[in-house]
Chains A and B, each alone.
Chain A
Amino acid sequence: MDHPSAAAIFNKDEARTEWHDKALWYVRSKRDLSAKSIPEWEQLRQIASAIKAHALSNLDNYLVEFEENAKKNGITVHWAQDGKEHNEIVHSILKAKEVKKLVKSKSMLTEECHLNPYLEEKGIEVIDTDLGERIVQLSKEPPSHIVMPAIHKKKEDIGQLFHEKLGTEAGASDPQYLAEAARQHLRQNFLTADASLTGVNFAIAETGGVVVCTNEGNADLGVSLAPIHIASMGIEKLIPKAAHLGVFLRLLARSATGQPITSFSSHFHGPKPGSEMHIIIVDNGRTEQLGRDDFRKSLNCIRCGACMNTCPVYRRSGGHSYGYTVPGPIGSILSPGKDLKKYSSLPFASTLCGSCSDVCPVKIDIHTQLYKWRQIIAKEHELPWSKRQAMKVAGYMFSHPNMYRTAGKAGRAMLKVTPKTLVNGPWNVWGKSRDLPPPPKESFRDWYLKNRVKK
């Protein structure tokens, strides 16, 4: 399904759309307050962006350095070209120790690789332990946001879900009560798991370790109890030095939720005594993206989610409408590189307002890349029919100035007298929950001729 159709389904429930919009805007406002409290914020973004650019420009050497140091720390390092190989490696590690239950903390990469269904098919129980992830896992949905996986759900939905799955009281929807129920349920799983898997926020070449950031402490509770720790990371997580963490940890949580830092920023440089630690380094299309001059910078992403929270389209269409593991503006520039045809509607799921680029802590030119993907999609004829027709008309108009002027005049006149129901008919997706501004009396050209040319 393309984005407009999926968004239309989401928009059917107007009150919920409104609520979703506000919930995310609230997070965006917290981010603003937090960012403004740091005088050097813009400088930090600049530095972060430059560190990422540098790391990408020397990535092969940093990966080798990282591997060497990780091995010295007693970590086993694996390499996977794609999701399938990643899943097979995870399975082989678990199989060797006859693991029955794996506890997992948040990892968009394992979502991308579809690890859970793969392992479940092999008879391994997988428990997502981040509360939001557990909620979507129990309701058999993918996450709708990379930081707040269950942001699309209301507390009443979660109350009902927990009533069915965890036996909480019927009708109970108090977040405190529900979170406590999840705590008890997950603690049992932490205590009985025989392996844990975490994502990676940053991997440090210089020290051969990885950093994982959580608020709940779920990654650490899993790792500190189970005898096996597997950390899965994309190749782009590499940063050269530990000192660079100072920059990224200052930016990450502030951009994500407005917190000064997450509750736990854990630095793993080897297994705990008597345990084993594995790191799986995954490509899965990233080296290809590295080769695309226009889109390379998307690999800077530190998955803070700020571009989603600020995006007027994401806020009003929900994460699921994108149909890709990473939704929102960043997902819309990553996904076409994976499958241009399948995701051809995503670069159009944007107003190109540029707010995503403004908030991005690593200065990815997201809206420019959206625009560039549009051009590629148009060239490769992956445009939807209605857009193609509109483009043809627009193209004709722009190459015939007289006609453009006449049409403009007619349009302004028409808008004044046409009833709103006709302007905002079902064919005008832009008219959904939105009114057109009143048409101006004269065109910019007329105004310019009158006021400027004469002088």
Chain B
Amino acid sequence: MSSRSKILDAIKKNKPQLSPLPEIPEFDNETVDKVAFLNEVMSIIGGVLEEIKDMDVLPSVVEAAYPNKKIIGSNIENFPLTTLDVNSIEDPHDLQNLDLIVLKGEFVVAENGAVWISEKDLVHRANAYITQHMALVVNREDLVWNMHQAYKRLELDRPGYGVFISGPSKTADIEQSLVIGAHGSRSMTLFLVG
């Protein structure tokens, strides 16, 4: 008998009586100022929130936030600061000198500052991790309150990859001291557009 059937048989034999699956309320919070909340959360998670009025100003605010970055990639079409066309790269190892990645995300969750980006928007999965710095861009109308609402928006049942990114890469493994920039991004700015 295969291990698969042995394990499944053992479960059948040992599992308890079927218990019911609970309903999950949405736990919406209609009174909260989501942008103000997000702003506070960003400082807790080591990121920065910048509100901008439209996409036209994005290049100049990114430039101001990240001056003198040499190798810049983006998933935004014709983004003027781009110096490395990530679409043309085949082997993700060739992204290793990326200084800054500017990524348009799908939506952001106010309660924890998590921005959802799926594989197609990442171009390469490595883009989000190999870069030294990261700028994320989300439309103001794509701001939801909590994770329950976030999952209502998601379609996961297709092959691929997606990630919630909440702030820069960090570690507290040495005596609980927070160090920003563990393996990936050393900083993260979220630009909220509109």
Contacts and interface: CB of A to CB of B under 8 A. Distances in A.
Contacts of B124: 224, 272
A296 B173 CA distance: 32
A247 interface: yes
Nearest to B184: A217
A261 B166 contact: yes
Contacts of A40: 25, 27
Given A79-B2, A79-B7, A81-B3, A175 B125 contact: no
Given A27-B176, A216-B169, A217-B184, A59 B15 contact: yes
Interface in B98-128: 111-114, 119, 124-126, 128
Contact of A257 (B147, B163, B172): B172
B67 interface: no
Given A79-B4, A272-B161, A287-B10, A47 B22 contact: yes
Interface stretch (A115-123, A148-156, A407-415): A148-156
Nearest to A162: B174
Contact of B182 (A81, A135, A204, A218): A218
B163 A220 contact: yes
B36 interface: no
Interface string A23-51: 10011000000000000100100110011
Given A40-B27, A149-B173, A225-B126, A54 B21 contact: yes
Interface size class of B (residues with CB under 8 A): 35 or more
Given A183-B182, A287-B11, A23 B176 contact: yes
B161 A154 contact: no
A40 B111 CA distance: 13
A260 B151 CA distance: 16
A206 B157 contact: yes
Contacts of A260: 41, 44-45, 111-113, 166
Interface residues of A, number: 95
B169 A215 contact: yes
A283 B21 contact: no
A190 B125 CA distance: 14
A232 to B, nearest CB: 14
B15 A290 contact: yes
A257 B96 CA distance: 30
Contact of A246 (B126, B128, B150): B150
A60 interface: yes
A73 B159 contact: yes
A264 B113 contact: no
Contact of B168 (A53, A176, A263): A263
B19 A54 contact: yes
Interface in B20-65: 20-22, 24-25, 27, 41, 44-45
A266 interface: yes
9 contacts: A54-B18, A54-B19, A54-B21, A151-B176, A175-B175, A217-B183, A220-B129, A243-B151, A265-B166
Which 8 A-B residue pairings sit nearest by Cβ, starting from the closest? Answer: A291-B14, A260-B112, A132-B173, A216-B182, A217-B184, A224-B125, A270-B159, A287-B10
Interface of A: 23, 26-27, 40, 43, 46-47, 50-51, 53-54, 56-60, 63-64, 69, 72-74, 79-81, 85, 129-132, 135, 148-151, 153-155, 158, 175-176, 178-180, 183, 186-187, 190-191, 204, 206-209, 215-218, 220-221, 223-225, 235, 240, 242-247, 249-250, 257, 259-270, 272, 281, 283, 287-288, 290-291, 293, 296
